[in-house]
A and B are shown apart, each in its own frame.
Chain A
Amino acid sequence: MASADHTRDPCPYVILNDFGAAFSMGTIGGAIWHSIKGWRNSPPGEKRISAIAAAKTRAPVLGGNFGVWGGLFSTFDCAVKGVRRKEDPWNAIIAGFFTGGALAVRGGWRATRNGAIGCACILAVFEGLGIALGRMNAEYNRPVAPVIPDAPASGSTSAAPAAV
């Protein structure tokens, strides 16, 4: 495809990249969050141990959830790109629709439908935000023509007597 997004790894390498990135996001965020939570829910004297224990048990679970979602989304994104042969925001929305449906399929068709629509809405919000920020960025960087200072009026011109 001629208009590929050069800021991202090409498919299928982007799938592995997003697996790792999403897992890292979930694990780091979960470690911070759950260590604070464990600290606050502990009696004095056991705060440090409880914070570390909570982070160790809960952060990998959150990381795994993030990784599954990120990897599956990238897989569907690459599949949609391969089928449509286009690069536009609809790729992400369609991939979000499939990802939400796939991960909610165990709850029955109603949960699948709701999960798919919900994920598509979330991706639509993000795509809209990206487009809006792109517009703002372009506006901020618009090239402005340099202002040339007015040429100073020469004294000889004003001093010249008017021809009668």
Chain B
Amino acid sequence: MQSMQPSTVDKLKMGAIMGSAAGLGIGFLFGGVAVLRYGPGPRGFLRTLGQYMLTSAATFGFFMSIGSVIRNEDIPLIQQSGSHWNQRLLNENANSSRIFALAMQQAKSSPRKSNEVAEC
């Protein structure tokens, strides 16, 4: 028997989970580099790095949940019953997350540029 199609809410949840996990990794990476280069600041090493990771995870989770719902199409399920993480859904999420990761890095690296564009 085939398992049920993942609903839109399920895709939203899975996108948020994957985005948060990826955001934690990226926050750890970039936060670690920032702390090593500029110092931990007044709140200490762990709190600064933790804030980097949490902010990155929240942002990635938010946008990736939207991306998962946008890429919403019927997926032919040929796997066993009870499988909720279909391989194709994983690939779709991975692709959405790549796009989002690139866009987010630009937003972080050049805040003034976005302000200039917004004022036009």
Contact = CB atoms under 8 A, between A and B. Distances in A.
Interface of A: 5, 7-8, 18, 21-22, 24-26, 28-29, 32-33, 57-58, 61-62, 65-66, 69-70, 72-74, 92, 96, 99-100, 103-104, 107, 115, 118-119, 121-123, 125-130, 133-134, 136-137, 140-141, 143
A33 B118 CA distance: 15
Interface of B: 18, 21-22, 25-26, 29-30, 62-63, 66-67, 70-71, 79-80, 83, 85, 87-88, 90-92, 94-103, 105-107, 109-110, 114, 117-118
Given A21-B96, A69-B106, A126-B97, A134 B66 contact: no
Contact of A25 (B18, B29, B67, B91): B67
| 7 A-B pairs with the lowest CB-CB distances in the bound complex, closest first | A70-B99, A66-B103, A69-B102, A69-B103, A130-B94, A22-B99, A125-B25
A141 B77 CA distance: 13
A122 B102 contact: yes
B99 A25 contact: yes
A19 to B, nearest CB: 9
B107 A129 contact: no
A28 B99 contact: no
Given A7-B92, A140-B85, A70 B118 contact: no
A118 B109 contact: yes
Given A100-B105, A137-B87, A61 B117 contact: yes
Contacts, number: 126
A96 B97 CA distance: 12
A163 B71 CA distance: 75
B99 A69 contact: yes
Contacts of A5: 91
B66 A29 contact: yes
B18 A129 contact: yes
A24 to B, nearest CB: 5
A143 B114 CA distance: 51
28 contacts: A18-B95, A21-B71, A22-B103, A25-B66, A25-B67, A25-B100, A28-B66, A65-B114, A66-B100, A69-B102, A74-B99, A92-B98, A96-B98, A96-B101, A96-B102, A100-B105, A115-B109, A118-B109, A122-B26, A125-B25, A125-B101, A129-B18, A130-B90, A130-B91, A133-B18, A134-B87, A137-B83, A140-B85
A127 B21 CA distance: 12
A26 B71 contact: no
A25 B70 contact: yes
Nearest to B70: A24
A24 B100 CA distance: 11
